[in-house]
Amino acid sequence: MSSKLQPVKPEDIPLGMPLAWHLYDKAGHLLMQEGAVIESQRQLDGLCSRGLYREKSPSHARLEPVAQPEQKIGAMEKSLPVPQIVELLDLKIGIGDTVQLQDVSSDRQRYFVRMIGFLNKRSVLVSHPRQEDKLSYIKEGTGFLLRGFAGTKTYEFNTNVIGVCLVPYPYLHLAFPAQVRSINMRGAVRIKLKLVCSIDALETGTKTPAIIEDMSISGARVQAARPFGKVGEEVTISLRLQLGEESQVFMIAAMIRNVHQELDAQAGSEVYMHGMEFIQTQSMDLTMLQNYIYKFMLES
| CA 258 vs CA 70, 75, 203, 209, 237: distances in Å | 26, 19, 17, 18, 16
Radius of gyration of the chain, Cα coordinates, nearest whole angstrom: 22
Please list the alpha-helical segments (H only) found in 1-40.
Answer: none
HSE-up of 152 (CA within 13 Å, CB side)? 10
Please list the alpha-helical segments (H only) found in 49-164.
Answer: none
CA atoms of 63 and 241, how far apart (whole Å): 5
Q: What is the pTM of this model?
A: 0.52
Taken in order of first residue, the domains within the chain and their CATH numbers are: 5-60 (no CATH), 84-184 (2.30.110.10), 191-284 (2.40.10.220)
**pLDDT number for residue 75:** 35
Selection from 91, 83, 96, 63 nearest residue 287 by Cα: 96
Contact 226, 272 (CB under 8 A): yes
CA atoms of 114 and 135, how far apart (whole Å): 14
CA atoms of 15 and 154, how far apart (whole Å): 34
H or E element that contains 213: strand 207-215
Contact 212, 95 (CB under 8 A): no
**Cβ neighbours around 293 below 10 Å, total:** 23
Considering Cα of 254, then 190, then 111, then 13, what sign does the dihedral take? positive
**pLDDT number for residue 78:** 41
H or E element that contains 41: helix 41-48
Say which DSSP state 55 is in. Answer: E
Q: pLDDT digit of tens for each residue in the chain (300 aa)? A: 566 788 888 777 766 666 767 888 888 888 877 767 776 777 788 888 878 888 874 433 333 333 333 333 333 344 556 778 999 988 888 888 888 898 887 677 888 899 999 998 999 999 999 987 899 999 999 999 998 888 777 899 999 999 999 989 999 999 999 889 998 766 556 778 788 999 999 888 899 999 998 887 778 899 999 999 999 999 999 988 776 566 778 888 999 999 988 887 666 778 999 999 988 666 677 777 777 776 666 455
**pLDDT number for residue 76:** 35
**pLDDT number for residue 195:** 87
